Amino acid sequence: MNKTINLTLKIWRQKDRSDKGRFETTPARDISTDMSFLEMLDVVNERLTLEGREPIAFEHDCREGICGSCGTMVNGRAHGPLKGTSLCQLHMRHFKDGDTLTIEPWRARAFPVIKDLVVDRSAYDRIIQAGGYVSVNTGSAPEANTLPVPPELAEKAMDAAACIGCGACVAACPNASAMLFVSAKISQLALLPQGRPEADRRALAMVRAMDACGFGNCSNHRECENACPKEISIANIARLNREFLHAGFISHET
């Protein structure tokens, strides 16, 4: 059974970086509840195009919850109301006929709006460039078990590595802090033997890059882990703090 609903979108429109921007109200008619949120926006954009108006700009790529491109605020919630779900994986059956949806871009000084719902997340790239890597030649695959990793640590590293860099944690944080993202990127390497040699330098460099980007500070509100589509835990933030404090106060790194 194909059920359809009608919605009213109160959506942020902004021409470019310098435009002040404003909310525009536009209907989303005959939306199949089997559609994803992004497909709903596609339908609205087709109508806007046919009407000769500018379609709504939003980011997307994989549409299967793995690339981290998509994401907007929907009624004040990053990626919409469903836990552990990116916007592209959110289906319209979670909304009711007649609902009004307020759709806004991520709001953070470090993520300036480029157009409509698209924000510039190059601040994340600068943090990764500062130390989110391992400086070894990869070469061919090594002999298995040359570097034994206990399964619990492998699991934790994998959980941290699930971060897709979408920016929802920053968007949801009352302080626009990037700590959950940075903690995931620091943890995925700090937990594995390949990441240990550079752990101190990495923690210092990535936290400094994060601070330089103009993100807020962590107040431990825990909004981030509740908004994260990959349900990255704030246990990673505690690990980031340990790694940074070790690097800053005990290690020989400066």
Q: Quick one: 37 or 244, whose CB is closer to other proteins?
A: 244
Name the burial class of residue 114, with classes exposed (0-12), middle (13-18) and buried (19+) by CB atoms within 10 angstroms of its CB. Answer: middle
Task: Give the binding site for other proteins (CB under 8 A).
Answer: 10, 23, 73, 75-78, 83, 102, 104, 107-110, 172, 174-177, 179, 207-208, 210-211, 214-227, 233-235, 237-245, 248-249, 254
Work out what residue 132 binds among ligand SF4, ligand FES, ligand HEM, none; the CB cut-off runs from 5 to 8 Å by kind: none
- The answer to whether 48 contacts ligand FES (rule: CB under 6 A) is no
Q: Per-residue x/- marks for ligand SF4, 183-222, CB under 6 A?
A: -x--------------------------------------
Give me the least distance between CB of 186 and other proteins, in Å please. 11
Give me the least distance between CB of 220 and ligand HEM, in Å please. 6
Q: Which stretch binds ligand HEM (CB under 6 A): 53-61, 78-86, 143-151, 214-222?
A: 214-222
- The answer to whether 105 contacts ligand FES (rule: CB under 6 A) is no
Residue with tokens 């939003």: 58
Work out what residue 5 binds among other proteins, ligand FES, ligand SF4, none; the CB cut-off runs from 5 to 8 Å by kind: none
Q: Are 44 and 66 in contact (CB under 8 A)?
A: no
Name the burial class of residue 253, with classes exposed (0-12), middle (13-18) and buried (19+) by CB atoms within 10 angstroms of its CB. Answer: middle
Work out what residue 3 binds among ligand SF4, other proteins, ligand FES, none; the CB cut-off runs from 5 to 8 Å by kind: none
Q: Quick one: 9 or 110, whose CB is closer to ligand SF4?
A: 110
CB-based contacts of 143: which residues, under 8 Å, 6+ apart?
A: none
Assign residue 103 a region: left if phi > 0, alpha if psi is -120 to 50, beta otherwise?
beta
- Out of 95, 181, 215, 244, which residue is the one contacting ligand SF4 (CB under 6 A)? 181
Query: Cα torsion for 19, 24, 28, 33, to the nearest 10°?
Result: 70
Which 8-state DSSP code applies to residue 64? S
Q: Which stretch binds ligand FES (CB under 6 A): 8-16, 62-70, 113-121, 172-180?
A: 62-70
Q: Are 222 and 180 in contact (CB under 8 A)?
A: no
CA–CA gap between residue 101 and residue 96 (Å, rounded): 10
Name the burial class of residue 202, with classes exposed (0-12), middle (13-18) and buried (19+) by CB atoms within 10 angstroms of its CB. Answer: buried
